Amino acid sequence: MKIDDLKHAKLKEWVQWAADLMTPNEVVICDGSKEEYDSSIKALVDAGLGIPLKKRPNSYLFRSDPSDVARAESRTFIAAKNKDEAGPTNNWIDPVELKKTMTDLYRGCMKGRIMYVIPFSMGPVGSDIAKIGVEITDSAYVVVNMHIMTRVGKKVLDVLGTDGFFVPCIHSIAKPLQPGESDGGKWPCEPDVNKKYISHFPDTYEIWSYGSGYGGNALLGKKCLALRIASVLARDEGWLAEHMLILKLTNPDGKVKYMAGALPSACGKTNLAMLVPTLPGWKVEVIGDDIAWMKFKNGQLYAINPEAGFFGVAPGTSEQSNYNAMQSIKENCIFSNCGLTDDGDIWWEQIGYPAPGKTVIDWKGNERPSPQTDKVPKEGEPIAHVNARFTAPAKQCPCIASEWEDPAGVPISAFLFGGRRASTIPLINQSKSWIHGVFMGSITGSEITAAALDLKAGSVRRDPFAMVPFCGYNMGDYFAHWIKLGKKAEAEGNGDKLPKIFFCNWFRKDADGHFMWPGFGENSRVLSWMFDRCDGKDNAVETAIGFLPKPDAITAPEGVKPEVMAELIKVDTAGWKEEISSIRDEHYAKFGDRLPKELYDELDKIEKALA
Ligand code: GTP
Ligand code: SPV
Ligand code: MN
């Protein structure tokens, strides 16, 4: 299919403009077919970028440039009409200035390459919650990843018709080729981080990305469209676009509830969404592992997963920690920045077994002696990059729920927020009201992980709703949007249909720095407590900070001593007092008068109750 075959006049004009600006050798309109996937893979293998894996049918390993291994938050921009609209948590550049800078960068940037035009749907094609995007890119790696992560091709153009709404997304790896030149096995990108741009124009719903080929910087349907631009659409249209997993929980009586959970990047969404319960009789199935789009219908909130695949953190994934993810990645997958064993398989730290053979090739392409254990090395570089990822079709997951593609979505009974906190924050806590739940989401703090490349891993930062890197507008207004939706439901008499709100912390540490809670499958104990709370079961005590489990409401997993269990579910009054003053002085203060007054009221209430 060529540009002239496009029936949507605005799309055709935009594609032609991009081709004239970026001057590729050729323009290809993607049809989403298997042939297209296979030929793109072949081009990547021929260029020395994709390595076929002997042990996994139709699967390939890629190694990116060391400058290009995660999202670049310092180079991510929300170019709203003024700085205040972007808010204190976003980087801002004037949109006119940014477009000028980037237009100059885009000029001729695809020379010697193919310009792919990828029509994609976020959400089941044709669902009334779904949205269409079109990504222009010069990266075949992006094409194959988008094939797995979204729904691509002709069927999308059919829904778009001659005048449908789409989000235009431009992406270039910023590495034109001279005549006769090939990538020759070197990951193409702009290696200077300060020359990368991941830009969003919320007032015109546009995305322009330049210089990075990795993950959320390049697969523009994911964080750029489905969160940053979608959060703006959601604000304007009265729905929610969230960094949330969606899971289906079935109790031993066969009763079902759906829950959505926001945990910051690399804090356990994929693991929670696919967990194998240790509690007998309970079942968890996955609807989505990273993003939820939610709309109210007749007072009930329904969620869809806008994605079609998992772009999951590889290190730490094992048959033990995430059996269902391991089953999902047996074939038809793309691996990025994992180790390569000498028998042609991928390997990473905590995969559950030591690397076979004498040597293994690390994510930088260096041959290394095979580690004798799968532990994270105390010194020296790991074999797999800490933000190494797998791209897997969601339908390959053994615990995918049969309704995961239902265009109507699934009804949400509970929201779960959480973060990585070594102290203070209890294992689980239920809010006393919707507004108290919004307060909980707004104060989320978490130790920084390796999912962003320019932040210091380990230190605690506030990441309200796990959305700080992904909210396309002023987060003070985002809090207000959440409050407004709850108030509207209550005013319409649907308050009891609102999801109950919870806050979890799987990451408490003892004085020796060991996790106090075993996590993973044992988190089912917490999910079952939440399930029963949603049914109004009397298994909680009211405290200053919320409803905590009664002492025996959650039975301790093997190896967790009663005193540790008690510690996990008690109110750490001194810790919370510090927490409250840090929220007031350092966190909320940043938002000035955009911070809804209701949240200060919640803060005051808790402070009083703790005194
Ligand atoms: P993104 O894809 O970046 O949004 O991340 P995510 O929230 O889906 O995180 P993921 O589930 O991939 O988990 C990231 C890391 O947290 C992995 O290294 C896991 O092994 C670890 N992890 C997940 N769940 C738990 C848990 O319950 N306890 C502990 N201690 N670690 C966990
Ligand atoms: C995250 O960082 O939250 C991810 C990975 O899910 S990326 O798609 O790169 O944003
Ligand atoms: Mn994520």
Shared domain check, 379 and 461? no
Are residues 568 and 521 part of one domain? yes
Domain boundaries, position 374: 310-396
Q: Which of 373, 396, 419 is the last residue of a domain?
A: 396
Residue 204 lies in a domain: yes
156 and 281 in a single domain? The answer is no
Question: Of 359, 378, 396, which closes a domain?
Answer: 396
CATH of the domain at 330: 2.170.8.10
Distance of CA 283 to the CA centre of its chain: 23
Task: For ligand 1, atom 32, name the residue with the nearest CA.
Answer: 268
The pLDDT of residue 458 is 65
338, part of any domain: yes
Claim: this prediction has a pTM higher than 0.85: yes
Q: Are residues 419 and 357 in the same domain?
A: no
Q: Which residue has the tokens 């968890």?
A: 284
Separation CA 610–CA 603 (nearest Å)? 11
For the chain, give the number of residues. Answer: 611
Q: How far is the CA of 99 from the centre of ligand 2 (A)?
A: 25
b/e map 563-592, b = 16+ CB within 10 Å: eebebbbebbeeebeebbeebeeebbeebe
Nearest-CA residue for atom 10 of ligand 2: 216
Indicate whether residue 393 lines ligand 1 (CB < 6 A). no
In the block, residue with structure tokens 């390049």? 218
133 is a domain residue: yes
| Ligand 2 in reach of 451 Cβ (< 6 A) | yes
Same domain assignment for residues 353 and 477? no
Phi then psi for residue 213, to 5 deg, are -115, 10
Establish if 58 belongs to a structural domain: no
Is the same domain home to 78 and 112?
yes
Dist CA 322 CA 84 (whole Å): 42
Residue whose CA lies nearest to ligand 2 atom number 8 = 216
> Is there a domain that residue 476 lies in?
yes
Q: Work out how many domains the chain is built from and give that number.
A: 3
Which chain residues have CB less than 5 Å from ligand 3, an ion?
265, 290
Q: Note whether residue 290 is domain-resident.
A: yes
Cα 531 from Cα 428, distance rounded (Å)? 13
pLDDT digits (tens, 9 = 90+) for 208-227: 999 999 999 999 999 999 99
307 lines ligand 2 (CB under 6 A): no
Which atom of ligand 1 is least distant from the CA of 243? 4
CA separation (Å) from 422 to 171, 228, 459, 465, 543? 38, 29, 11, 18, 21
Flag residues of the chain having pLDDT under 70.
Answer: 457-458
Question: Both 455 and 377 in a single domain?
Answer: no
Centre of ligand 3 from the C-alpha of residue 421, in Å: 18
Q: Report the C-alpha gap between 504 and 428 in whole angstroms.
A: 4
User: Given ligand 2 and candidates 223, 446, 463, which is best to mutate, with the most ligand atoms within 8 Å of its CB?
Assistant: 223
Residue 592 φ/ψ, nearest 5 degrees: 55, -140
Q: Is 68 in the pocket of ligand 2 (CB under 6 A)?
A: no
Final residue before a domain boundary, out of 380, 396, 412:
396
- The answer to whether residues 139 and 286 belong to one domain is no
Q: Which atom of ligand 2 is nearest to the CA of 290?
A: 6
Same structural domain, 133 and 208: yes
Q: Computed from CA positions of residues 548, 554, 556, 557, in that sequence, does the dihedral angle turn out positive or negative?
A: negative
CA distance 228 to 201: 10
Using the mean position of ligand 1's atoms as its centre, give its distance from the Cα of residue 519 in Å. Answer: 10
pLDDT at 1: 84
Please give the pLDDT value at position 453.
Answer: 77
Protein residue closest via CA to atom 20 of ligand 1 = 316
265 Cα: distance to centroid of ligand 2 (angstroms) = 6
Residue 40 is assigned to a structural domain of this protein: no
From the CB of 266, is ligand 1 less than 6 Å away? Answer: yes
Nearest to 390, CA basis, from 327, 339, 335, 326: 335
Tell me what pLDDT residue 127 has. 87
Query: What's the CATH number where 591 sits?
Result: 3.90.228.20
Residue nearest to atom 10 of ligand 1 (CA): 268
* 146 and 278 assigned to the same domain: no
Looking up residue 224, the CATH number of its domain turns out to be 3.40.449.10
CA-based torsion, 135, 136, 142, 144: positive or negative: positive
Residues 371, 481 share a domain: no
Write the CB contacts of 11 (distance below 8 Å, at least 6 apart in sequence): 134, 160, 166
- The answer to the question of residue 60 being in a domain is no
Q: In the prediction, which pLDDT does 460 show?
A: 83
Q: What is the pLDDT of residues 385-422, one digit of tens each?
A: 999 999 999 999 999 999 999 999 999 999 999 999 99
Do 346 and 379 lie in one domain? The reply is yes
332 CA to middle of ligand 1, Å? 23
Residues known to be catalytic: 267
